[in-house]
Structure formats: C-alpha cells, structure tokens
A and B are shown apart, each in its own frame.
Chain A
Amino acid sequence: MPLAPPALLEAAAEAAGPLEVEDPAKPWVVPPERIHSVLAALRDDPRLAMNSLMNLTAVDRPEQGQIEIVYHLCSLRHHHEVAVKTLCDRGSPHAPTAVDLWPAADWFEREVFDLFGVVFDGHPDLRRILCPDDWVGHPLLRDYELPKDVHITTDRDD
C-alpha cells in the first residue's frame, strides 16, 4: 500500500531517528552527516522499501553559499515516492556517495561531480562524464562564465 507523505515521514523517523521536516509533502532536508544513514533506512525499512533511486542531481544556491543534493526515491513495491535533500558547502562541496546503496547513483554522481564539482566521498570511479576530461570549471554552477573561445574552427590560415 502506498503511504501518504505524513505516514512516510513517520515511518522514516522510526527507522532513521527523528527528522526535522516542516512539510512532509515537500523535499525533506537532512543534514549531511546523517544523509547516508537516512537513505539507507529509506531503502531497507520494509514499510518504505525505496528500492529505486530515480534521480540524483544538485541545485546551486550561491546566495546561501550552498549546493543542494537532491535524491528522488521511489518504491516499486509500494508505489510511493519521496524527495530527500542534503546541503553541502559551496566552497569545498563534499557529500557521501550513495553508490553502495543504489548502483544507479554511479553515473548520476559522476554527472553532478562533472557539472557542479561536488566530490562524492567513497565513489569508486569519480571522473568527468559529459564534459571532456581536461575541461576547466563546472558548467552548471550559476556563476560559471561561458568560455568565448571553445568553438572548433576548420580555418587553417592562422
């Protein structure tokens, strides 16, 4: 049976310890030091059984000096879903990896590393995935300046 957001939050708090969430229907913000254990509880608790990591991405918040990491989880057994967020410092962004919980996180985290520069501690193969390996900067940061001279030219006169 799918659980409604308040019941989901209740079950999650029982499994992972108290969670400070104002509105259970909105993304739950979890402190970075607890995010891995909360995600593990969401996956392993039989009432929640969030066996699918549908999406993992980041949102840049320069005015708060933070980057949000967003996890969209879904239970293919119970048909309920939840969004969980954690925050990391924009100066040296670090977050624990979720690859050990869902192998699906592998390329998602590589993408966030590539485009936001967030380092996922414990990721087995953290390399750029979409941009070339020698790319400078992280394009999805809001203050990223688009390079003016990356176009490829076939003009051989110069």
Chain B
Amino acid sequence: MNAPLIGARIARKEDYRFLTGAGQYTDDVTLPRQTHAVFVRSPHAHAKIKSIRKDAALKAPGVLAVYTGEDLAAAKVGGLPCGWLITDVNGQPMKEPPHPCLAQGKARYVGDHVAIVVAETAEQARDAADLVQVDYEPLPAVVDASKARAKGAPQLHDNAPDNTCYVWALGDKAAVDGAFAKAAHVTRLELINNRLVPNAIEPRAANGSYSRAEDSYTLYVANQNPHVERLLMTAFVLGLPEHKVRVVAGDVGGGFGSKIYLYAEDVVVTWASRQLGRPVKWTAERSESYVSDAHGRDHHTIAELALDKDGKFLAMRVQTTANMGAYLSTFASCIPTILYATLLAGQYTTPLIHCEVTAVFTNTAPVDAYRGAGRPEATYVVERLVETAAREMKIDPADLRRRNFITTFPYQTPVALCYDTGNYNATMDAAQKLADVAGYAARKKDSEAKGKLRGIGYAAYIEACGIAPSAVAGSLGARAGLFEAGEIRVHPTGSVTVFTGSHSHGQGHETTFAQVVADRLGMPIENVDIVHGDTSKVLFGMGTYGSRSIAVGGTAIVKALDKIIAKGKKIAAHLMEAAESDVEYDRGEFKVAGTDKKKMFGEVAFAAYVPHNYPHDKLEPGLNENAFYDPANFTFPAGTYICEVEVDRDTGQVRIDRWAAVDDFGKIINPMIVEGQVHGGLVQGIGQALTECCRYDDESGQLVTGSFMDYCIPRADDVPSFKVDTRETPCTHNPLGVKGCGEAGAIGAPAALMNAITDALGVKDLAMPATAQTVWRAMQNRKAA
C-alpha cells in the first residue's frame, strides 16, 4: 500500500530535463533542410502601404522567398478569427474588422506583420529583411482609447465607426442609479489599469513543415492549446482538414496567456513551408515580442460604490473603456466583458451592480488575456473602492469587508455568476494572523522613527476559474466549447500513460496529474507518465488558461480513471469468479467484499491484454479509456492578501516589507507547486503595481517601452519573499474538489499593494505603476496642497 499522493509535496518529474538542458522548446527543434524566417514589420503606427518591392531582398545571399499580404490573398489564406462574439447594448454584433496574416493595404500598429523573408540561415533572413522596400504613406495615429473615440480621431477600420468595437453592459442601470440616490455615502475613483507586456522568458516561436509524401503539415509552436491552434488555423484560415495538420507545443517557456492565441506568424510559416517544400522556422527576438505579442489590461475606469451609513454596500456603478489594440486577438472581446464585469461582486453581497464597457480600436498591439484576464481588472476596481470607502467612512478596512462578506452558499451574484462555496472570513482571519496585523501599529512607529512612511493594504479577491460550462459560455458568445479531454492508457504490465488536453508551460502537470492518477490507482508515481502538447498523441484538448487545468483537465482524467476502474472490476470479477457488484477497488487491488480474494491492478491489466481467460462475450480486450468533461459551473478560488510597504520620503522608493497571502483553492494536490504558482502570480501583480508599464508615444504611436531596459519586469531584488498559506473549502461540483491556483497572485496583488502605498502616502489616487518618480510626485503634490 502506498502513502496518499494527493496533498504531497513531490518534487517535479519534469525538472530533470529542464535542469540538464534537455528541454525541447520550439526553437530547439531543427528539422532536416530547415529554413529560417524573419518578418518585416511596420515601423509606423498607422500607414498606407503603397507598394512593396521584393527584388533586392530576393537577390540577397541565401534568400529563398519573400511573401506579402498580396501573396496570401492570392492563395486565399484567410484572416485571423476572433473566438468570442460580444453583442452590444443595441443587440448588434461587435465590429470584427479583417485581421490579415500579412498586412493588406494598411499597417495599423508598430510591429504589424507586413512581409516574411525566408532564407537558409536566420542571419541571411535578417539581412534581407532590411532590403524589402515598403513604400509607406504614414497616417495620423491614435494610441489612447478615449482619444480614439473623440471626434476627428484617425479611423483604423472602415467598418468600425469611432473606432468602437462594441459598447456592452451588464446589470440593471435604473435600479443601480436608484440605490445611489439613496446612499449615505458614495466613493468614487478613476482608475487606470496599466497596459502590460506578458514577457514569458521564452519568446514566441513557430516552425512549420510540410510533407509532400503525406500531404500533411506539422507545426511546432510555443503555444498553450495546440488543438485550439490547429482548429482555428485549419478551419478558419488555411482551409485545411484537421487530420492533415499536426500541432506540437512541446516544452513551452511560460505563457501567461500570451501563447493562447493563433498568431499570424504561426499561419504564415505553415503556409510558406508548403510553398517552399522545406520547413520554415521563426523565433521572435525580444524586441519583436514587445511589439507583436498580445498585450494585457489597458482599462480606463470610473467606479463608484454606494454604501449605507453602516457601511453596507448598496450598489456599484462601473464605466470602463477598454483598449483592444489595432485588431481583435483570439479571445480579446470576452476579457473586458464576460471575464471582467461578472467578477464585480467580489466577495461581497453588493445587491446591485451595473457595468458598461466600451471597447475601442487603437494603433497599438492587440490586447488579450494576460494572467488573470479581466479578473485582475475587476479585483482592482472592487478592492480599491472598498479600501477607499473604508478610509472615507473611517471604518477599519478589514471590518468593512467583513460586514459585507457573502457567508451563505450557493450565492447568486447580481452579475450572472453563482458561487458554489467559499469561506471569506477564514482566509481573512488567517491572513491577518500571518501578516501580524496586530503588530502593525508598532512597526509603523518604528518606520516613522527612521523617517519612513509605512502603509498597509488589503485585497480580498475572488476569481472565476475552470472555464467553463460550454452551454453557458456559448450563450454568452463563445464560439468554442470549453470542456477538456483525457485518456488513460493502461499498458499490459500495469504502468500508465495519461494523455491530457491541458498543457503545461511551467505549471507542473506532469507531476500534479501523475499524483492524481497514481493516488487513485494506488501505484507509485514512477509508473505514470503524462503526455500533453501534441495533437497527434492527445485525442483533443481545449488547453491551459484561466487556471482551468486541474479543475477541468484533471477532472477529465478522473472521469477516464473511473471508467478504467469500472472495466477493471468487470475483468477482476471474471477472474475471481465473483459478482461484479461485489468487487471493490482499493488502491491497487480489486477485492471481493467480505473475502480475502483479490487481484492486483497489474494482473487485471495483463488479463485485458493477454485475454486467455477473459469474458469475451461481455467485454472488449484492452484497458484504455477516454473522457470528455464539461464542467457544471465555474470554480471560485478566493483569498486575502495583506502587504506592508515602507516609502522613502526623499526618493519615493517603495519597499515591500512583508506580504501575507492566504488562498482558498479548494483541495490541493501538490502544495509545493501551488505555492510556486502563488509566488509567481504575486510577482507579476507586484510588477504591474510597481514597475511595469507599457507606453506608446501619443503622437508617433511608437512603443517607447520596447525592451527589458525600458519595461521593467521585476528582478529578484525588487521583491520580497512571501508568507503564503491556504484554507480549503472544496469545490462542490468536481470530484477532486479543486478550484485552480494559477492566476490568484496576479489578480489580488495590484490592489493590495496600491492600497498599502496610498495608505502610506495618505492619498486617494495614485496611478500604477507606483515608480519612485510617481510616488515622489504624489508626495510633493500632497505637500503643496
């Protein structure tokens, strides 16, 4: 009998290859007769393309081909599709301008893909890219979403007047306005959720290969959902049958959302490989990632909270302008709507909520899901409002939250979601203890004695994970199902290969999922391997995003396991000459209840593959089962983060002194991996609040933060170590009781940190990122006032 594996801190199975340099990332794959591609990108934010001359480039050493938008159009290559239809307040579909894989007629942002150069080596392709002569006629550009809607603003797309993609709303506006009219107190904030660049350390890469012999394609690509990539590329862009295309997303060096999408480069290298009859590889340089990866966030919001005299929340009113960039990326449209407004209840009983979102095209890189995707923006609105209201009403911020916590479940919010379970007081209690809130006053005195300012900030976040019940998503405009698939292949001697449609790009599925399977089957974890990321191996998959892997992908595996055990019982009953209903499975053994008869799992597997003594009249040989799992509801991880900062009065430098995070992720499979996910999420959230800001020049539309030297992702000495802990209220609608943990840190951190900094400074408004300069200015302004 083996010790339980669920809940154990097991070192990761995948680590050995990463630690020895044996990982196989997309750029590590070099195929026979490999060629290399470089994309020619627009240096202008907005320009007419009058002509493109290829001849000089074509004559350069090693160059094999140059293709432009005209070539793709002639070959009837389609544009990139958007996977979610939002219907606007007037019942009209959102505006979906064409998104060609290589620009046609116009470039709409700096970095827009204009041509591809393919050569024998990457250096030759790079040299020749400079020789492609594009005659641009620069046009006025607009990068700010509010300005893009103003009269006289440059227009990006003919079919999107006022650059507006949609105006969308959720909630009962009249009822909300009525509640505000009667409120004892109203807190109002204007909030900017700063645009971010995801910056996975592995740049995007794609290597397309066509086999004339098989008339089939293989695309190696840094991607989070290879089956979705294949579906979108074959059915919507290239018009190919899916069985002729294999997509392999092997080791992927971080995603954070940015590798969910079907990108133009993936399509173009795949298409070009057929034209040339040779594999075509493209790997982004970091400066290219900055201009061409889908960005995150970029909201401008007016938010108001109405309270009664006792601090009970009466209503919330939110108006957001969301910058979509120049085109709609794959899931862009659902991020500032479905994944944002539905989270505005937070952990609270706010009975009335109205949210209106205006999505706007600008001359910037497309914006899509980035770690948290809508939920960090919602949490920032809710938790900055709540903290500010507490200060204005002179109520302790934790106490104000507790007065409004949802305490009975299931709970139907006014913004569509129904929370199945939670215990917000438990995570708040634990976080306050972990943060030693009781000792805060003394620490504040100490800081003051040193001439420093100290502040404390809370964020009590909630997120909707495990996306999603397909029928619900479909009714909200999703053009895809959102289930997950899994397969358990038991080998004749009893070891197991598991195929999952989830994808791991750092999350550790090869360990976590193996723990689940080995635990359920009662076998050593070494006997279980997890396979993911290859459409030719895995039956199907919707992939990894929205913290859905364990809740949806893990459940699909459990459903397949249930079928394995059910079939195993039938085989074991036959072998032991017992009634099937008397056979029980108990961690590695099929037993006949009330007797000492038993068969080991391996014996049953062997009988299934060497079926000499086998119930052939009732059962097929073999032990291999699939399952598709479509969740009944979202899952609702929640928690409380508390941070304390010290601010240098002279320089404005913020130092995070301590950070306590208590999360409720339901059941936890591997606490070590979960803690790692929280640490990483927190630092991305801290990055947003403290150091990261993607800026385009207002006039020229140039990206001015286009490298690690201008756009500061946190370094090790920018951030603290963390105190993290968990509380468990198991999810009620999946068999593992799991909720998901991948995004929590990034969702809760910005609000907690900005609440702490504004507390230290004694100011109400402060824009992210709170760089030393921003903080210093805020202190000077306060002095002046």
* A and B pair up: no
Q: Which residues of A contact B (CB under 8 A)?
A: none
Q: Which residues of B contact A (CB under 8 A)?
A: none
